[in-house]
Amino acid sequence: MRTHFTALLKSLSLGIALIALLILSQGVARADEVTVSGTTTGTVTGVSQLTFASNNFTGTTALGVGSLSDANRLGTFSLSTAPLQPVAGSFTLNVTFTSPTGIAGGQSASYTATITGSVSPNVDQGGVDIVFNNPSQTFTFNNGTTSGSFTLTVANLFVQTGRSANLTAGIRGAQNPIPEPATMILLGTGLAGIAAKVRKRRKAKNDISA
């Protein structure tokens, strides 16, 4: 009887281990970087010499980190040479994400984040400094297929008079697949079968004892 009980325990342990391994391997194997896409708009207040050009962007958090730069920059600032006087004001950046979808707090298809900053003269270098008040924001998402989070960090910027400068950002994060119904059913079926087998063994043991 003891040998049968030991064999049963080994079978149960093996079954549970296989089910757990299946679920774990699915999550680890398909964990992936987040693809971030969207567009920007920006408003400069109080500084007529400074203008902002919007841009469409796409980037991925490969290996957990990535960047939005060059062709995928958030936009471009240009500072004209007239009038020649120290300037100060503010800047509001709106970043609308179209991917990933399902960002918490927004529409299912898109989400708009607002990032504000100040514009101040940099007399020593002949231009303006743009410093963001909330440069780093984290977003969570669940689109029914994958779930995860990513963080966008916008870089402060110096724009020289008569020049243009790109607004860049860093992105980091990861996503994981949402377990498929078939996997959950497999887990439930396996556990139910194990429980039924345990009850059957206990009943047989009680019948023999009686």
Give me the pLDDT at residue 93, please: 98
Q: Is residue 155 part of a domain?
A: yes
Average pLDDT, whole number, for the chain? 82
Q: How far apart are CA 127 and CA 87, in angstroms?
A: 9
Q: Has this prediction a pTM greater than 0.85? A: no
Count of CB atoms within 10 A of residue 202's CB? 10
Q: Provide CB contacts within 8 A for 152, sequence distance 6+.
A: 36, 95, 113, 136, 137, 138, 139, 169, 170, 171
Torsion region of 173: left, alpha or beta (phi above 0 gives left; psi -120 to 50 gives alpha): left
Contact 91, 58 (CB under 8 A): no
185-209 per-position pLDDT tens digit: 445 555 555 655 656 666 666 666 6
187 domain residue, yes or no:
no
Q: Return the pLDDT at 81.
A: 87
* Counted domains in the chain: 1
pLDDT at position 141 over 90: yes
Residue 97 lies in a domain: yes
Q: Domain range for residue 90?
A: 31-177
> Is 75 part of a structural domain of the chain?
yes
Does any domain span residue 199?
Answer: no
Residue 112 inside a domain? The answer is yes
Contact 32, 175 (CB under 8 A): yes
In a domain, 72, yes or no: yes
Mean pLDDT, range 100-116, rounded to an integer: 93
Residue 58 inside a domain? The answer is yes
Higher pLDDT, 192 or 170: 170
